[in-house]
Chain A
């Protein structure tokens, strides 16, 4: 039986559809809240995580997720027996939950760190401080991102 024009177009159409599906599903995975929890547990271990002491300055609405200014500061006297050992920053929905780890010492004088980060989506950013007595303190901030970073195509 000779192939009709209708049969041919049907076949070609379904092949095209089948061909596009893998491209659509090939999106990079996002870090899930479970990955965020696991990353935090990696740093904190089984220690209790308390809220307070830490301040996270980040704009609540950013137009471009490629450079988001961020400052973390911790209320601490920064003396030899009461200081901040480290500051850890995490995100919820980038492909990877870590943003940065910063290690301080009593000679830092002030427990404050600033940098610029990337955010791939509207999400929660979490900052955790480890004090010299090995207690952990956290704060979270929600950021709305209109242009996402990290996973866009190269030009």
Chain B
């Protein structure tokens, strides 16, 4: 699925940088009904993880109270050039991933 990742392309060593992620997902709460009364089954992303050169730096548990197309922003210290990997895991075997590169000077 489509994901939008915002990581600065360049940073100085030791800088605190903001990482913003947005992924497309319906985040169906499991509490809604159709017009004829049937319950719409839950379909949400339950877990998000970010790794920086293989090390986990941020993790989140998501619940139905997170809005559709989950947006998350968090911070990390730029330590070395390399790769950020992002992973979303959800109901019904949902899984998606994305990555971004950073150059640290």
Contact = CB atoms under 8 A, between A and B. Distances in A.
Residue of A115, A116, A118 ringed by the most chain B CB atoms within 10 A: A115
| Chain A facing B: main interface SS | loop
Contacts of B35: 153-155
Given A66-B68, A101-B60, A118 B74 contact: no
Interface stretch (A44-52, A103-111, A128-136): A103-111
Contacts of B77: 107-109
A115 B71 contact: yes
Contact of A68 (B59, B67, B75): B67
A17 to B, nearest CB: 18
B63 A110 contact: no
A22 to B, nearest CB: 10
Residue of A68, A105, A111 ringed by the most chain B CB atoms within 10 A: A105
B67 A100 contact: no
A100 B73 contact: no
A107 B76 contact: yes
Nearest to A73: B75
Interface residues of B, number: 34
| Chain B facing A: main interface SS | strand
Interface stretch (B2-10, B26-34, B96-104): B26-34
A112 B20 CA distance: 12
A147 to B, nearest CB: 13
Report the interface size class on chain A: 35 or more
Given A101-B60, A150-B31, A107 B79 contact: yes
Residue of A26, A111, A113 ringed by the most chain B CB atoms within 10 A: A113
Interface in A119-155: 119, 149-155
B90 interface: no
Interface in B2-25: 16-17
B89 interface: no
Given A118-B29, A150-B32, A153-B32, 5 more contacts: A96-B63, A104-B74, A108-B75, A114-B71, A150-B64
Interface string B53-87: 00111111111111110111111110100000000
